[in-house]
Chains A and B, each alone.
Chain A
């Protein structure tokens, strides 16, 4: 298995632009998580899905952030409009076991100028 796949790996954009991050979870995993990592705040949970349904989006910082999971093999995290403070590494993780061992993707490093 290729593991969790994220794209793009790096994204540089200007303030105000729309950014879409993509994630393909491990096949067979039915839970998907989006996290954000910064030096100041560490790794924070943004939102997670079980069986493609959003369960908890309380970590989404603002209405500018939205996430979808149209099917079991694909999820997107969208930021519109982006702001410099959104600059961070965004990780997607998936989980398929009862005991919640999570498998992380390589992350997308987002820089908003």
Chain B
């Protein structure tokens, strides 16, 4: 079965610095890899999607990389702000373009300290 590993410990970053979160997976490579943000008491919110043939994707202060050889994705938040504090979930998507259930990691809790 597919396993996804994210840093289980909280990540503390000083405001203004770049936060980097790691997602490692085993076995099959997904067609897509997605990142979600989850705040306490709320459902996950989609942030970015990157395809298996893409190396990097950017959206404002967010950047995602995808290395299918290392079976790893990195998620970067530049110029981090306290409002970026949340749990970030990595999700594997094997749908290849259709709709399919996602396999989620347990998430990394990010704390941006002012």
Residues of chain A having any CB pair with chain B under 8 Å? 4, 30-31, 33, 35, 42-45, 48, 50, 56, 59, 91, 93, 95, 98-107
The prevalent SS among residues of B at the interface is loop
A106 to B44, CA, bound (A): 9
* Given A42-B105, A42-B107, A45-B103; A102-B46 close (CB under 8 Å): yes
Of the four ranges (under 10, 10 to 19, 20 to 34, 35 or more), the interface on chain B belongs to 20 to 34
B95 and A100: CB pair below 8 A? yes
| Minimum CB distance partner of A94 in chain B | B99
CB neighbours of B89 from chain A (8 A): 43
B114 at the interface (CB under 8 A from A): no
Residues of chain B having any CB pair with chain A under 8 Å? 32, 34, 41-46, 49, 89, 93, 95, 97-107
CB neighbours of B100 from chain A (8 A): 48, 56, 100
B103 and A100: CB pair below 8 A? no
B43 and A100: CB pair below 8 A? no
A100 to B42, CA, bound (A): 20
The prevalent SS among residues of A at the interface is strand
CB neighbours of B107 from chain A (8 A): 42-43
CB neighbours of A91 from chain B (8 A): 43-44
Show 22 A/B contacts (Cβ-Cβ < 8 Å), sorted by A.
A4-B43, A33-B102, A35-B104, A42-B105, A42-B107, A44-B104, A45-B102, A48-B101, A50-B99, A56-B100, A91-B43, A98-B97, A100-B32, A100-B34, A100-B93, A100-B99, A100-B102, A102-B46, A104-B43, A104-B44, A107-B41, A107-B43
